[in-house]
Structure 1
Amino acid sequence: MDDNKVIIGGSLVESLKGNYQLSLRQVLEQSFNITKSSLLPLLGGFLILIAVVFLVVLVLMNVFSLEAMENSIKVQYLSEILLTVITAPLLGGLMLMAIKHSVGITTKSGDVFKGFNAMMPLIAIALISTILKLIGAQLLGLIHPNLMIVVQLYITAILVLAMPLVVERGTGPLNALFYSIKIVHFQLPKFILLFLVIAGLLLLGILTLGLGLIWVLPMIYNLIGVVYRDIIGVTVIENPKDNSSENISA
């Protein structure tokens, strides 16, 4: 590692051995406090994402009939995969912003487009995740409808660190997926509980007529950023003049 680069937080090498701690209370408290000072940039990033999704949906409605989008499973799957491909770089940009927030680096809403620097790996991860969820939901849904929710929760939990590894470390998509699955399985119950908490926060945001999502969505990303920092660590470039951390090395 270069002399002016340091890692804040955990260690990828140690986390792959299961040598890490995850305190749900601490990461929730820290993400809440971080969101106080980083709400507007992430909120702006989400507005950009929502605008892109809205445009894609309008295009899909012009290509397919509303009836086909509602009743055709093939059209629904195709639409979901298309949305996944288009939004993956933006979601990666939001994730990179949250990782920066976890180490005290400020961002701006336009940073959401920095995910396009790793566009293809992010799309690969998003597609693999989406396809796994669709296949798993279909197979287990034949046994019991509630199992569809279980498999989606499980896949989301075990792949949560893949996208951050791509945007922060430049890890290849297959390695990022493997690392995430391996690391999460060491403390899978805690990660499942973490995503149940996230689901509860989302429900709370929806129940407030959507107004709560203004806070909840940025906090969720900051939460994942804090988890990533504590488990894997964030590589930053230090300013040699005052020894302050300026930027993520990636």
Structure 2
Amino acid sequence: MQGIPENPYSAPQSALVESTDTQALSIEAALARGYDFNIGDVVNESWQRVKGSKGMIIGAMLVYAVASQTLGLLFGFVFGLIGALGGDVMAAVLPIVGGLIASGLCASLLGGIYLLGIRQAAGQPLNFNEVFANFGLFVPLFILSILMAVLIYVGFFLLLLPGIYLGVAYLLALPLAVERKLSPWQALEASRKAISQRWFKVFGLMLVLSLIMMVSAIPLGIGLVWTFPMFIIAVGILYRTIFGVLPPPQ
């Protein structure tokens, strides 16, 4: 009979997970319209969306961890040796420089991990190959990583508070660079302007997620298998809330 649902007594679907606005906006439109979110809702939704994405995100993170640790040790040793021969100042500074370079070289992998979180937040299909799909953006992502780290370090060295502000404000810079292909400075500024609209709430979200991850790591770090993907997806939900998400590549 027309007009009668197949199962009128079925449980309603969770609006939190099923009803999401993923329409991509231009950066200008996203910044102009404003946005808001509830920390509890983001945490709850990100936890629900861990199912079906946990293995892929953890696998991508293991690839990133191996690459970043290997490069970090290599550059740390080389720059540390050079610094030891050049005096106390160089011995203190060059290992930091080596770490920055190692992080920059792995920025494309980290961007791919964030992209998985964005895809899951938007309900789009996940593809592990997307973790490695950003090597064409290697140079701009490398520059973005170095520039962001330098600006945050400078902020910490000056008065501490500017460093904390930028550390939160630049949260979406790398996701913007890989999902919207923005230049390093465009990505940094778009992220800063967007998050500054709700900076304290975003800071609160990051604080809650960090505490959850810290607690989950107590039993031999086993809980991180669930809470790290949850963190990545939460960043994806925040990104989706502000900018929307482009359709995945065919």
Given the alignment, which residue of 57, 65, 70 partners 1:50?
A: 65
Higher RCO structure, 1 or 2 (CA under 8 Å, sep 6+): 1
The answer to which structure has the higher strand fraction is 1
Judge conservation of contact 1:22–1:231 (CA < 8 Å) in 2.
no
Q: CA deviation at 1:139?
A: 2.3
Q: Deviations 1:168-209 (Å, cap 9, x if unpaired)?
A: 111222111111111111111111111211321332233233
Within a 5 Å distance, the mapping from 1:198-209 to structure 2 comes to 198-209=209-220
Q: Secondary structure at the match of 1:31?
A: helix
2:206 is matched with 195
Judge conservation of contact 2:58–2:229 (CA < 8 Å) in 1.
yes
Cα separation, partners in 2 of 1:79 and 1:210, compared to 1, 3 Å: farther
Judge conservation of contact 2:68–2:106 (CA < 8 Å) in 1.
yes
Q: Distance in 2 between matches of 1:73 and 1:9?
A: 47
2:181 is matched with 170
Judge conservation of contact 1:14–1:20 (CA < 8 Å) in 2.
no
Within a 5 Å distance, the mapping from 1:89-108 to structure 2 comes to 89-108=108-127
Judge conservation of contact 1:153–1:192 (CA < 8 Å) in 2.
no
Q: CA deviation at 1:48?
A: 0.3
Q: Deviations 1:127-156 (Å, cap 9, x if unpaired)?
A: 11110122222223xxxxxx4xx5443222
2:22 is matched with 8
Within a 5 Å distance, the mapping from 1:216-227 to structure 2 comes to 216-227=227-238
Matched, 1:128 2:147: yes
Q: Distance in 2 between matches of 1:205 and 1:129?
A: 29
Structure 1 residue ranges, 4+ long, deviating more than 4 angstroms after superposition: none
Q: Distance in 2 between matches of 1:20 and 1:9?
A: 14
Judge conservation of contact 1:42–1:218 (CA < 8 Å) in 2.
yes
Gaps of 5+ in 1: 1-6, 141-146, 237-246
Instruction: Supply the RMSD in Å over aligned alpha carbons.
Output: 2.4
Cα separation, partners in 2 of 1:37 and 1:129, compared to 1, 3 Å: same
Higher alpha-carbon deviation: 24-33 or 14-23 = 14-23
Q: CA deviation at 1:248?
A: 4.6
Identity among equivalent pairs (%): 27
Q: Distance in 1 between matches of 2:209 and 2:98?
A: 25
Q: CA deviation at 1:9?
A: 4.4
Q: CA deviation at 1:82?
A: 1.4
Q: Deviations 1:105-134 (Å, cap 9, x if unpaired)?
A: 232444321222322222222111110122
1:4 is matched with none
2:167 is matched with 156
Matched, 1:183 2:190: no
The structure number with the bigger radius of gyration is 2
